[in-house]
Structure 1
Amino acid sequence: MNHLHIINGDATLNGFNQTGLDGDVLVWREVFSEGPLAVTLDAEFWSKRAEFVAQTFKDAPGNYQEMILQELEKLSEPYDDITLWFEFDLHCQVNLLGIMQLLQQHVDLSVPQIYLVCPDDFPDVTNFKGMGQLNGEQLESLYDNRLHLTDYDFTLATEAWQKYITGNVHELQQWIDENPFWGSMHLLKPALQAHVKRLQQNEDGLGYIEQKLLQLYKNGISSRAAVFEAFSNELPIYGMGDAEVDAYLNRLINKGLIALE
């Protein structure tokens, strides 16, 4: 059988390479929790994403082709089963929604079986933040308990994706409240609720993330490295890497609200 493992980010790759699991690996390096999205993931969509990533994260434009688009070419190969390795946080859950849209739009899903590995904790691992903390043996144990994604899960993912990309906080919250069953997407609801909170602004026009970062700064945390660590520990539900937090910090700097060391 031909197997494909789609892993969210390079952090998990080292541990995964220690496993005895067969198959090809596609490393998903996009950050769909930030920037422009669309219903259809076509050539125009990827062009806009490449531009956004290069500008926001100060990355060379050519890197997007190599690090992201070339990886996606693996989806053109025939596979008997595909396992998605994504975590509980908003960063991972939105990426998961995106890859499920991509699979529906570009892969004949009548052929491969699709599975999900999606932990929000692990025995004896304190302050669990992601599968990058796990070794090969631990990752194999997660694989043994992977969830089979059904048509319902893909329908749910499509609805969630469409609600997410509109950016309408009231419509998204209503959809969350009215959805009675989350299938195998059992960690999607808390991630989307965190996104609803993120969309709301205070009287100064600051979103929830900016408010939290400003609070950390006012509490005396004034170096970027210290802010990165404090934010990650306080709000792991967002799953934001340093580059993502940095983009929010730069907005606060440009508004004259903080001045980091």
Structure 2
Amino acid sequence: MILHVLNGDALLPNFKRCSFIGDVMIWRECLIEGPLMAQTEVEFWQQRCAYISNTYQVPRAEYQHQVVEKLYKIENPAKYAEINLWFEFDLFCQANMFYILHRLAKSNLSNTTVYWVQPEQNSVKEFFGGFGNINNQQLKDFYAQKVPLKVSDLMFAVQVWEAYSANDDQTLSQLIDKAPSVFRFFKEVFEAHLQRNTDDFTANRIEKRLLEAIQNGVSSEIDLLHRFWENESIYGLGDLQIINYLNNLQQKGWIFELSLTDAGVAALYNSTNSFSF
């Protein structure tokens, strides 16, 4: 038996047209944000449900159905001879994939091969529109070139998830230079993650990009989103996540509508020498 884990619904229409054999699980979470620390899996998903419901006004019953009830497909991975993870290189995808890998690693996979279906990119800065926006032949080519993950790769993924979910920047920094070669662009992606973590008075990398775009002049919120995606596709943030960041900037008093406040200018200035891109 074969299982395909797709990161979101966008890929599904083209995926079906390719007639790939196997079961399909749609992953509908965004572990790039929100609470990640919990003592048990039950507590973890209760926290996630509360966060998504409160942040994005998703009814809890819908979250339970669309996310939690789908987890049964990876609860007993040993029944599959092959598990294919269709995840891209950006941080949004990587956070989700490392959670799944850490969970798979808890099972006996002696008769199961885990594969990562990767897009074709020469650089993580190279814009990739997502698996859902490519043609069927490209999907088939990516699938044919899927990369097998060894037990040691899964063990590394466990370390990454544990450090990432605990917000343990020191351990994650140490892992950056130890990543197996199969995890392409790991260094760039998780350095970008670490640059999200700053104090309350200094703009982090994402906030800095948004403040810069606003300072340079934007005509609308949509214009601002496109400016951000052009420069920071490494994060893989969707419009809802970026709008969430904008709401936080409003709450901090750094922006008013689409203009910087004096406090926003100060926050941007304080972050000027913090990052190199």
Q: TM-score, normalised by structure 2?
A: 0.84
Identity of aligned residues (%): 34
What letter is aligned with 1:118? Q
Q: Aligned-pair distance for 1:34?
A: 0.5
Distance 1:165 1:120 in 2: 28
Q: 1:190 aligned to 188, 191, 194, which one?
A: 188
Instruction: Please show how residues 76-91 of structure 1 align to structure 2 within 5 Å.
Output: 76=75, 78-91=79-92
Q: 2:202 aligned to 201, 205, 221, which one?
A: 205
Instruction: Please show how residues 54-203 of structure 1 align to structure 2 within 5 Å.
Output: 54-76=53-75, 78-105=79-106, 107-121=107-121, 127-177=127-177, 179=178, 181-201=179-199
Q: Secondary structure at the match of 2:247?
A: helix
The verdict on how the C-alpha distance between 1:170 and 1:79 changes in structure 2, with shifts beyond 3 A counting, is: closer
The verdict on how the C-alpha distance between 1:246 and 1:30 changes in structure 2, with shifts beyond 3 A counting, is: same
Q: TM-score, normalised by structure 1?
A: 0.89
Q: Aligned-pair distance for 1:138?
A: 0.9
Kept in 2: contact 1:6–1:28 (CA 8 A): yes
Kept in 1: contact 2:3–2:24 (CA 8 A): yes
Kept in 2: contact 1:4–1:23 (CA 8 A): yes
Kept in 1: contact 2:28–2:66 (CA 8 A): yes
What letter is aligned with 1:52? Y
The match for 2:269 is none
**Structure 1 segments (4+ residues) deviating >6 Å:** none
Q: Aligned-pair distance for 1:195?
A: 0.6
The match for 2:221 is 224
Distance 1:142 1:115 in 2: 11
What letter is aligned with 2:216? N
Q: Aligned-pair distance for 1:40?
A: 6.3
What letter is aligned with 1:108? N
Q: Secondary structure at the match of 1:11?
A: coil
Q: Which has the higher contact order (CA 8 A, sep 6+)?
A: 1
Q: Secondary structure at the match of 1:51?
A: helix
Give CA deviations for 1:195-254 in whole Å, capped at 9, x if unaligned: 11121348x233221121111112212522222221111100000011111110100112
The match for 1:18 is 17
Distance 2:187 2:32 in 1: 15
- What's the Cα RMSD here? 2.1
The verdict on how the C-alpha distance between 1:159 and 1:40 changes in structure 2, with shifts beyond 3 A counting, is: farther
Aligned length: 253
- Structure 2 unaligned regions, length at least 5: 259-277
Q: Secondary structure at the match of 1:32?
A: coil
Give CA deviations for 1:35-89 in whole Å, capped at 9, x if unaligned: 1113766111110111111112222222211111122122246222110010010
Distance 1:150 1:171 in 2: 22
Distance 2:207 2:219 in 1: 14
Distance 2:46 2:207 in 1: 28
Q: Secondary structure at the match of 1:45?
A: helix
